[in-house]
Amino acid sequence: MPAGKSNVVVRAAVVADMPSVAAMLEAYMTEIFNCPWDGSLEALVRDGLGREFQTVVAERTDCLVGFACWRRVYDLHHCAVGGEVMDMYVRPESRRSGTALSLVSMVAAQVQLAGGRFVKGSADATLEPVYARVAVVFTGAECYLGGRAFRVFADAAGSPPRELIRNLPSSALNHEH
């Protein structure tokens, strides 16, 4: 990992962050879907700070380098409240630095604080093996982080990315209450 790339602070987004989040959404939509973002800054501010979903951001020095947006969900199979990562993005120059893990860890902490017991989301097929180290992955579909693995990951929020990587809970802990 290049020097300085691990100095990331992940926190809840505030109104002043939303123009940068909007710019990253534009980059994300272009990179992943090859089309422009069809949202607006006004809607992002209105909905993304708790009304419809929560936003967490990753910050290095004086600029944002990533975001994750999540919403509350309910798992009827286990009668449990949790969170769903709707979208997550890390700027290309900040990838492979643990920033995505830091974002998911913060989401897990917020979900746990709200009484949730799991986080789910989708994985890019190329990242499924990485996600499978800590989560239950249904190939081509969703990843679930639950059980003791969820609690360990949530409790590690705010840890440096290298520490998160060193202390990733085993995916087997997803099945432990």
Q: Is residue 2 part of a domain?
A: no
In contact, 54 and 71? CB cutoff 8 Å:
yes
As for how many domains the chain has, the answer is 1
Please calculate the CA angle 153-156-160 and round it to the nearest 5 degrees.
Answer: 120
**What mean pLDDT comes out for the span 137-151?**
84
Q: Is residue 62 part of a domain?
A: yes
Give the model's confidence band at 3: pLDDT under 50 very low, under 70 low, under 90 confident, else very high: very low
pLDDT digits (tens, 9 = 90+) for 29-85: 999 889 999 999 999 999 999 999 999 999 998 899 999 999 999 999 889 999 999
Per-residue pLDDT at 91: 96
Q: Is residue 50 part of a domain?
A: yes
Q: Which domain holds residue 110?
A: 9-175
Please calculate the CA angle 86-172-134 and round it to the nearest 5 degrees.
Answer: 40
> DSSP label at 135?
S
CB atoms < 10 A from the CB of 165, how many? 16
Among the listed ranges 84-98, 136-150, 160-174, which one has the minimum average pLDDT value? Answer: 136-150
Minimal CA–CA distance to 47: which of 25, 78, 66? 25
59 - beta bridge partners?
9, 64
Does residue 141 surpass a pLDDT of 80?
A: no
Two structure tokens written together for 91: 């700027």
Does residue 149 surpass a pLDDT of 80?
A: yes
Give the model's confidence band at 4: pLDDT under 50 very low, under 70 low, under 90 confident, else very high: very low
0.85 surpassed by pTM = yes
Q: Is residue 156 part of a domain?
A: yes
Strands 63-75 and 118-122: unpaired
Per-residue pLDDT at 125: 67
Does residue 18 surpass a pLDDT of 60?
A: yes
Per-residue pLDDT at 52: 97
**Residue 42: burial class (beta carbons within 10 Å; 0-12, 13-18, 19+):** exposed
Q: Is residue 146 part of a domain?
A: yes
CATH of the domain at 164: 3.40.630.30
Average pLDDT across the chain, whole number: 90
Does residue 100 surpass a pLDDT of 60?
A: yes
Give the model's confidence band at 168: pLDDT under 50 very low, under 70 low, under 90 confident, else very high: confident
Please give the helix or strand (H or E) that residue 80 lies within, else none: strand 80-90
Strands 118-122 and 80-90: parallel
Minimal CA–CA distance to 108: which of 97, 120, 95, 98? 120
Q: Is residue 4 part of a domain?
A: no
Per-residue pLDDT at 83: 97
Does residue 1 surpass a pLDDT of 50?
A: no
Q: Is residue 3 part of a domain?
A: no
Strands 54-60 and 80-90: unpaired
Q: Is residue 135 part of a domain?
A: yes
Give the separation between CA 123 and CA 111, rounded to whole angstroms: 19
